[in-house]
Amino acid sequence: MTEPEPALVPGQLPGGLTLRRPTSADHPRLQVALAEWWGGLGGEAGALQRQLLVPRLFLQHFADTSFLVERPDGTLHAFLIGFLSQTDPRTAYIHFVGVCPQGRRDGIGRALYDRFFATARTAGRSQVRCITSPDNRDSIAYHTRMGFRLEPGDRFDDRGVPVHEDYDGPGLDRVSFVREV
C-alpha cells in the first residue's frame, strides 16, 4: 500500500512543476491544449470555440493576472487566464483554465485558483466571477466544490442548473458563477 500524496499548501505546486506568467509566444501551444485537453467535448466545433476564446491578446494584455504551469521538460501542464474587471472595481474574472488530462486531480487547478484569488485580493477585489458551458458538467462540479455560487439564469437545465440562454451569442448558453475572496 502506498502513502497518499501530501496535500498541497494553497498555491504551491508539486515538485518539478514551475509557474510563470504567459507570454505571446505561448499562444500556439495554448491553442493545441484548447483543442486536445477537453476529451472531444463539443467535437471539432467545440475545439474551435475554445480556441477562439483565448486569442493572443489575452497573453499580451492580461499576463500579470494569468499563469502558466510547465513540467521540467517545458511541456505545458496547466494555465489560468484571468483579469481584473475594468468596469467593476470589486470584481476579478477567470476567463479560461485548463489542466492537462494527466495532471487532473493533483491539486494544480486549486493552486492556480488560489494564486488568482490572492492576486485579486491584493488588487482590492472582493469577488471572482467565471462562466462555463452547461454541457461541461466537470467544470460545474469543480467550481461548486471550489466555493463558487451558481448565479440565477434565464432557465434551468435538466439537472436543475441555472443557465443564461444565448449568453455568448445565439445557442451559446452559459452557467455563471461568483465567489467572494
The DSSP result for 122-137, as a single string, is HTT--EEEEEE-TT-H
Regarding predicted confidence, which is higher, 14 or 126? 126
Task: For CA atoms 120, 137, 77, 111, give the dihedral sign.
Answer: positive
pLDDT band at 103 (very low <50, low <70, confident <90, very high): confident
Grouping H, G, I as helix, E, B as strand and the rest as coil, residue 78 is: strand
Regarding predicted confidence, which is higher, 97 or 2? 97
Degrees, nearest 5: CA angle 71-75-79: 80
Domains of the chain (ranges, CATH numbers) = 1-125 (3.40.630.30), 131-181 (no CATH)
Q: Picking from 88-92, 137-141, 148-152, which range would have the lowest pLDDT averaged per residue?
A: 137-141
Average pLDDT over residues 131-138: 92
pTM for the whole structure: 0.89
Cell of 14: 508539486
Each residue of 4-47: pLDDT tens digit?
A: 444 444 455 777 899 999 999 999 999 999 999 988 878 898 89
Quickly tell me which residue has 488588487 as its cell: 123
Eight-class DSSP state of 106: S
